[in-house]
């Protein structure tokens, strides 16, 4: 009876599973149809609105749909739209159009470059693979540059937008009406932001909607504008001591901040516009330099086509890749970042596997230990969005990749050694020039003759020259040669044989692979430390932004210390963690929370701001606590400009050192060094032979 009941239950479960599976398939088909219908509607609406047989608007919309279906392009399509849709609020047409435009421009550059790579690296699979891999990083940089232009365009539009707001506010004397009036004037990107801010201001719950907007605003200046507009609408506009409108004065402060930021971005773009290409150029020049050196100096063939040249190529490729990534991170100009998937990235997918989870958990230090606190602090200092588990997935993944890549490089190097011995022309290299066709044929004939003896003895141990000479005398090629020539040939073959017999994976190469893997394990740490150092350079700039925010807020009625802290938290990046902790602890004791904040930071200018906030908690009004910000406004602006100049000079110096490093190593280590060392060896050998001939 029990068995029959279990069978019935299993039948019900089985039938239910089949129904659920069918329902899931139907649901997926339905979603796919809706997506196709939505895409076709977008294209149809564009076709209906545009006249003519050929229109680029239709091309862009159709290209977007096609590109979103191609696996490789799909990644870039959605990466682009995640960033552009922040700028183009709820404008699907424009987002798709700009995504297609940027992708088409990138493909017009990358496709010819790919063809060039295949032509330039023919016969060199390692170089070809490295160049193709490098192209993925290049297209990332290319796309980022195109999106930065869109972001900078929005920032420049805001300058004119705020100027029009000033005139509209004089006319209507109402914030929301002024914003609405200016937003209807044109179809610029900033107009969409203005419409969104207007909708927030007239909504039933503007505070909640404003908080949502803060999370998606393209730049901090629009956040400031939205926040100041809301406060003015709620508490009314006031006249400053000189009779000017406080709202318009705050708009002027934001405009000045934007002008400084635009100048900073323009200078950074100018300084770094060619550094990325300079950092990448050595990869493209490797094959050209090798061909030129071998053609002009035949004695370098053994280096460039041997293991030494191979290892030097790998070193330059790795250095170029590292320098290229560092230059990209160094350039960071504060534009709208790409919204990354923080919910379920590849690290989370890997960590969800039970086996991998156990391995990763074994390496993660225990909570409360010194190592754990160090890792947490490093993630905070670098403003990384990675969780601790994801960070250690990165470390272990880098370890595995670097270990196996090093392992494979050694194996390929041994294969390359044997291949070179069996296929390289055997000759005494001349100091200058290249081989003639006749010399090349003779050299290859000698190589083939040597290969015969190499195949004969390569599996035998303790081979002596006499054994090789005995075998040589039995062949027609060496039947009538002199004793000296026979000895020279047998010595050459024995040397080749020893190299072949030694070309196997050795224990110390495994040790080297382990050491490289250990360095790879710390690679993510080095990257976070670099990001932290770059953030430290921005500290003064961020504190000066805090001063501007306080200057705008301190004269508004009902603004208190807690509200100022909330605004500072909203716009902070480097100091976000301690300020957030202060905001959370504020209700338990304002003075104590500010004192803790002061102890958490070491930057003097920010400590002075915290001390002024402490004074404003109980002793004096906010306006008086920060009175020097108003009286010394011109001084702070000049200091801000000077700080940006120093920042750009420092970044420029570091960027040039990093960007030119691969080029220097290319010419010194891959061209000049081998020519000098091998040339000196060849000259030493030549002089030794001449001395022997003289003695004879």
Give the 3-state DSSP-derived string for 20-76, with helices as H, strands as E and coil as C. Answer: HHHHHHHHHHHHHHHHHHHHHHHHHHHHHHCCCCCCHHHHHHHHHHHHCCCHHHHHH
Average pLDDT of span 253-260: 86
Average pLDDT in the 75-79 region? 79
pTM of the model: 0.72
pLDDT at residue 335 greater than cutoff 60: no
CA atoms within 13 A on the CB side of 159: 12
Q: 17 or 221: which carries more pLDDT confidence?
A: 221
Is the pLDDT reported for residue 291 higher than 50?
yes
Q: What is the rounded distance in angstroms from the CA atom of residue 569 to the CA atom of residue 437? A: 74
DSSP 525-593: HHHHHHHHHHHHHTHHHHHHHHHHHHHHHTTSTT--HHHHHHHHHHH-STTHHHHHHHHHHGGG-HHHH
Alpha helices for 619-696 (secondary structure H): 622-625, 627-631, 633-665, 673-695
Q: Which alpha helices (H) appear in 50-174, and where do they start and end?
A: 56-67, 71-87, 92-120, 125-172
From the CA atom positions of the chain, what is the Rg in Å? Answer: 34
What is the enclosing helix (H) or strand (E) of 384?
none
Residue 249's SS3 state is helix
Residue 473: CB atoms within 10 A of its CB come to 12
pLDDT for 507 beyond 60: yes
- Candidates 284, 282, 280; CA nearest to 119 is 284
Pick from 81, 83, 57, 55: nearest CA to 68: 81
Residues forming a β-bridge with 239: 245
- The residue among 527 and 469 whose pLDDT is bigger is 527
User: In this predicted structure, what is the pLDDT of residue 669?
Assistant: 85
520 neighbors 403 (Cβ within 8 angstroms): yes
pLDDT digits 0-9 by tens, 362-421: 888 888 788 888 888 888 777 777 888 888 888 998 999 999 989 888 888 888 888 888
Residue 591, number of CB atoms within 10 A of its CB:
12
**Are the C-beta atoms of residues 544 and 639 closer than 8 Å to each other?**
yes
Confidence of residue 511 (pLDDT cuts 50, 70, 90): very high
pLDDT tens digits, residue range 292-332? 887 777 777 778 877 888 888 888 888 888 888 888 777 76
Q: Minimum mean pLDDT among 66-70, 82-86, 389-393, 653-657: which range?
A: 82-86
Contact 230, 210 (CB under 8 A): yes
3-state secondary structure 481-541: CCHHHHHHHHHHHHHHHHHHHHCCCCHHHHHHHHHHHHHHHCHHHHHHHHHHHHHHHCHHH
Lowest mean pLDDT among 20-34, 77-91, 360-374: 20-34
Q: Each residue of 554-579: pLDDT tens digit?
A: 877 778 888 888 888 888 878 888 88
pLDDT tens, residue by residue, 423-463: 777 765 554 455 666 767 777 777 777 777 777 777 777 77
285 close to 299: Cβ distance less than 8 angstroms: no
Identify the bridge partners of residue 433 per DSSP, sorted by sequence position: 297
Q: Is the pLDDT of residue 47 over 60?
A: no
Beta-carbon contacts of 337 under 8 Å, excluding residues fewer than 6 positions away, are: 83
Question: What proportion of the chain, given as a percentage, has pLDDT over 90?
Answer: 1
Backbone angles phi, psi at 342, to 5 degrees: -100, 0
Phi, psi of 297, rounded to the nearest 5 degrees: -130, 95
Confidence at residue 435, expressed as pLDDT on a 0 to 100 scale = 60
The reported pLDDT for the residue numbered 581 is 87
**Cα angle value 575/222/600 (rounded, 5°):** 10
Closest to 84 in 3D by CA, of 111, 70, 67, 103: 103
């Amino acid at each position: 009876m029990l068995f029959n009941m279990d069978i019935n239950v299993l039948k019900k479960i089985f039938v239910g599973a089949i129904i659920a599976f069918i329902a899931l398939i139907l649901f997926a088909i339905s979603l796919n149809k809706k997506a196709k219908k939505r895409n076709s509607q977008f294209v149809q609406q564009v076709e209906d609105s545009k006249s003519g047989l050929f229109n680029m608007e239709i091309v862009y919309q159709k290209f977007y749909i096609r590109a979103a279906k191609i696996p490789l392009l799909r990644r870039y399509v959605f990466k682009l739209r995640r960033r552009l849709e922040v700028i183009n609020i709820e404008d699907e047409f424009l987002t798709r159009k700009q995504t297609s435009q940027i992708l088409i421009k990138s493909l017009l550059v990358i496709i010819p470059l790919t063809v060039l790579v295949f032509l330039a690296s023919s016969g060199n699979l390692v170089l070809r693979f490295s160049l193709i891999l490098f192209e993925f990083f290049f297209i990332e940089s290319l796309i980022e540059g195109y999106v930065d232009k869109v972001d900078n365009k929005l920032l420049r539009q805001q300058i004119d937008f705020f100027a029009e707001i000033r005139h509209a506010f004089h006319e209507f004397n109402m914030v929301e009406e002024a914003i609405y009036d200016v937003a209807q004037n044109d179809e610029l990107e900033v107009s969409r932001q203005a419409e969104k801010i207007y909708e927030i201001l007239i909504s039933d719950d503007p505070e909640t909607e404003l908080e949502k907007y803060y999370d998606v605003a393209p730049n901090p200046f629009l956040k400031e504008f939205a926040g100041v507009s809301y406060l003015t609408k709620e508490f009314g506009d006031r006249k400053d001591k000189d009779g000017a409108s406080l709202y318009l004065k705050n708009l002027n402060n934001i405009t000045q901040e934007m002008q400084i930021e635009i100048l900073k971005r323009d200078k950074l773009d100018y300084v770094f516009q060619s550094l990325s290409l300079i950092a990448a150029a050595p990869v493209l020049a490797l094959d050209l330099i090798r061909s030129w050196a071998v053609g002009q100096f035949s004695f370098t063939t053994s280096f460039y086509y041997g293991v030494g040249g191979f290892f030097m190529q790998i070193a330059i490729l790795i250095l170029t890749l590292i320098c290229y990534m560092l230059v990209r991170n160094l350039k960071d100009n504060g534009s709208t970042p790409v919204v990354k998937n923080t919910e379920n990235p590849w690290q989370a997918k890997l960590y969800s596997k039970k086996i991998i989870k156990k391995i990763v958990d074994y390496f993660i230090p225990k909570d409360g230990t010194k190592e754990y606190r160090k890792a947490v602090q490093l993630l905070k200092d670098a403003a990384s969005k990675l969780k601790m588990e994801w960070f250690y997935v990165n470390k272990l993944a880098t370890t595995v990749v670097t270990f196996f890549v090093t392992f494979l490089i050694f194996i390929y190097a041994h294969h390359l050694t044997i291949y070179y011995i069996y296929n390289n022309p055997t000759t005494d290299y001349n100091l200058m020039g290249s081989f003639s066709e006749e010399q090349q044929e003779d050299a290859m004939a000698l190589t083939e003759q040597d290969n015969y003896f190499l195949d004969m003895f390569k599996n035998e141990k303790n081979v002596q020259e006499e054994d090789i000479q005995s075998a040589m005398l039995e062949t027609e090629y060496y039947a009538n040669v002199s004793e000296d020539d026979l000895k020279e040939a047998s010595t050459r073959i024995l040397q080749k044989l020893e190299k072949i017999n030694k070309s196997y994976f050795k224990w110390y190469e495994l040790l080297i692979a382990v050491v490289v893997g250990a360095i790879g394990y710390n690679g993510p740490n080095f990257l976070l430390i670099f990001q932290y150092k770059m953030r430290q350079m921005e500290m003064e700039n961020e504190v000066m932004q805090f001063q501007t925010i306080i200057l705008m807020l301190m004269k508004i009625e009902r603004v208190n210390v807690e509200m100022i802290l909330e605004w500072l938290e909203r716009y902070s990046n480097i100091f976000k963690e301690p300020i957030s902790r202060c905001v959370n602890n504020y209700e338990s004791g304002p003075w104590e929370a500010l004192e803790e904040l002061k102890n958490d930071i070491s930057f003097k200018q920010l400590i002075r701001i915290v001390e002024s906030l402490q004074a404003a908690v109980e002793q004096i009004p906010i306006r008086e606590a920060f009175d020097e910000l108003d009286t010394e406004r011109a001084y702070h602006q000049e200091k801000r400009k000077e700080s940006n100049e120093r920042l750009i000079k420092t970044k420029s110096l570091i960027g040039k050192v990093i960007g030119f490093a691969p080029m220097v190593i290319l010419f010194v280590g891959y061209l000049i060094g081998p020519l000098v060392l091998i040339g000196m060896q060849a000259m030493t050998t030549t002089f030794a032979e001449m001395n022997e001939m003289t003695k004879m």
